[in-house]
């Protein structure tokens, strides 16, 4: 007790001596996943595992294979869904999830951002989303495209208590930027500001999310919620400049 009080006194003295720092309460953002994460296959596998946290399938017609998540150009992750016509899963596709788990701590927050070229055709279901480690829900769809030409931003409190905002997805063959800011609202609920290309689209609230660990998943699922039949060729989902910033410090 005595020694830690002493240490605190020394630290706050040191911090208050730095120009531009707030007395003793300096908050620093830290980068949990840097924008260089897709610079090479080794940086991809430093930060991400292949497939879903629970396996290689999820509510759709694609089975995930490691070989369908590739760094073809430095800086860009490409997920490739290819029609095989197999009777159980008609597509081979790619999914990765972050090796780290992410938690909004009391008084804190997290920022998730990336740029995407996302397919919007019927039967194509790319997504960039957060899923509860210990239970479902929680789920936050930072960005999801369900084969309708729209992008969807969603927060699930339960399977029936869902906030969902769909907006037209402009020029899908160009990159667009998505950002979700998660913040502790009241010690229990979390607010989520969803941005598309720098414009705030919607603010949603996740019940009791403070302190609950989340998995970050990037997948190219097919058919399922995006309708059918899906395309019989190859579909690509491309992601660059992904960044996760810790606002919990
Ligand atoms: C997608 O995967 C298919 C099947 O493996 C392959 O033939 C094709 O070259 C890939 N396309 C790209 C752009 O990666
Ligand atoms: C969480 O939000 C609900 C609904 O707005 C509210 O009733 C509840 O009091 C909030 N929790 C806290 C800890 O403020
Ligand atoms: C989910 O819970 C939050 C916090 O309690 C609440 O503000 C929000 O309205 C709920 N969502 C729905 C769709 O009821």
Domains plus CATH for the chain?
A: 28-246 (2.60.120.200)
Task: Report the greatest alpha carbon distance in the chain.
Answer: 70
Nearest CA to ligand 1 atom 11: 80
Pairing of strands 176-184, 109-117: antiparallel
Residue 84, φ and ψ in degrees, nearest 5: -115, -20
**Cα–Cα distance, 110 to 192 (Å, whole number):** 10
- Look up 144 and say whether it is catalytic: yes
Nearest CA to ligand 3 atom 9: 205
Percent of the chain with pLDDT over 90: 88
82 forms bridges with which residues in the sheet? 92, 234
215 and 51 Cβ atoms separated by less than 8 Å: no
In ligand 2, the atom with minimum distance to the C-alpha of 189 is 1
Mean model confidence pLDDT for the chain? 92
Give the Å distance between the CA of 101 and the centre of ligand 2: 25
Return the best residue to mutate from 207, 210, 212 for the ligand 3 pocket (most ligand atoms within 8 A of CB): 207
**DSSP per-residue string spanning the chain:** -HHHHHHHHHHHHHHHTSTT--TTT----EEEE-GGGGSSHHHHHHHEEESBTTBS--SSSEEE-GGGEEEEETTEEEEEEEE---SS-SEEE-EEEESS-B-PPTT-EEEEEEEEE---STTEEEEEEEEESSSS--EEEEEE--SSSEEEEEEESSSS-EEEEEEE---TTS-EEEEEEEEESSSS-EEEEEEETTEEEEEEEETT-TT--EEEEEEEEESGGG-SS--SSEEEEEEEEEEEEE---
Ligand 1 site residues, Cβ closer than 6 angstroms? 72, 78, 80, 82, 234, 236
Give the Å distance between the CA of 31 and the centre of ligand 3: 29
246 forms bridges with which residues in the sheet? 30, 110
The answer on pLDDT for 8 being more than 60 is no
Ligand 3 site residues, Cβ closer than 6 angstroms? 157, 161-163, 189, 205, 207
- Look up 161 and say whether it is catalytic: no
pLDDT confidence tier of residue 26, bands split at 50, 70 and 90? low
**Cα–Cα distance, 216 to 114 (Å, whole number):** 12
Give the Å distance between the CA of 19 and the centre of ligand 3: 41
- Which-ligand-closest: CA of 69? 1
CB count in 10 Å sphere of residue 102 = 20
CA 69 to chain centre: 16
pLDDT confidence tier of residue 249, bands split at 50, 70 and 90? confident
Poorest-confidence range of 15-24, 31-40, 50-59, 184-193?
A: 15-24
Q: What is the pTM of this model?
A: 0.90
Identify the active-site residue in 21, 105, 121, 144. Answer: 144
In ligand 3, the atom with minimum distance to the C-alpha of 161 is 13
Mean pLDDT across the stretch 139-152? 98
Nearest CA to ligand 3 atom 8: 205
- The answer for residues whose C-beta is within 8 angstroms of residue 186's C-beta and 6 or more apart is none
The answer on pLDDT for 114 being more than 90 is yes
Q: Is 188 in the pocket of ligand 2 (CB under 6 A)?
A: yes
Residue 204's closest CA among 133, 249, 248, 138?
138
Percent of the chain with pLDDT over 70: 89
Q: Is 198 in the pocket of ligand 2 (CB under 6 A)?
A: no
CA 166 to chain centre: 17
The answer on pLDDT for 31 being more than 50 is yes
């Amino acid at each position: 007790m005595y020694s830690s009080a002493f240490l605190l006194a020394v630290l706050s003295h040191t911090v208050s001596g730095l120009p531009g720092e707030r007395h003793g309460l300096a908050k620093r953002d830290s980068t949990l996943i840097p924008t260089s994460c897709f610079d090479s296959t080794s940086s991809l596998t430093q930060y991400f595992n292949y497939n879903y946290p629970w396996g290689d399938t999820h509510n759709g017609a694609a089975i995930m294979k490691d070989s369908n998540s590739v760094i073809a150009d430095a800086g860009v992750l490409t997920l490739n869904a290819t029609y095989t016509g197999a009777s159980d899963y008609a597509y081979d596709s790619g999914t990765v999830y972050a090796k780290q788990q992410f938690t909004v701590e009391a008084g804190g927050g997290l920022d998730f951002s990336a740029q995407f070229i996302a397919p919007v055709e019927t039967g194509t279901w790319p997504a960039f989303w957060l899923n509860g480690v210990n239970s479902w829900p929680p789920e936050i769809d930072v960005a999801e495209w369900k084969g309708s030409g729209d992008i969807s931003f969603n927060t699930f409190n339960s399977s029936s208590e869902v906030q969902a905002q769909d907006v037209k997805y402009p020029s899908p063959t160009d990159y667009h930027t998505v950002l979700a800011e998660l913040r502790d609202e009241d010690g229990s609920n979390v607010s989520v500001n969803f941005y598309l290309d720098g414009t705030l689209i919607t603010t949603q609230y996740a019940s009791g999310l403070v302190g609950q660990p989340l998995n970050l998943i990037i997948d190219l699922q097919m058919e399922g919620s995006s309708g059918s039949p899906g395309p019989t060729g190859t579909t690509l989902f491309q992601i660059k400049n992904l960044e996760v910033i810790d606002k919990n410090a």
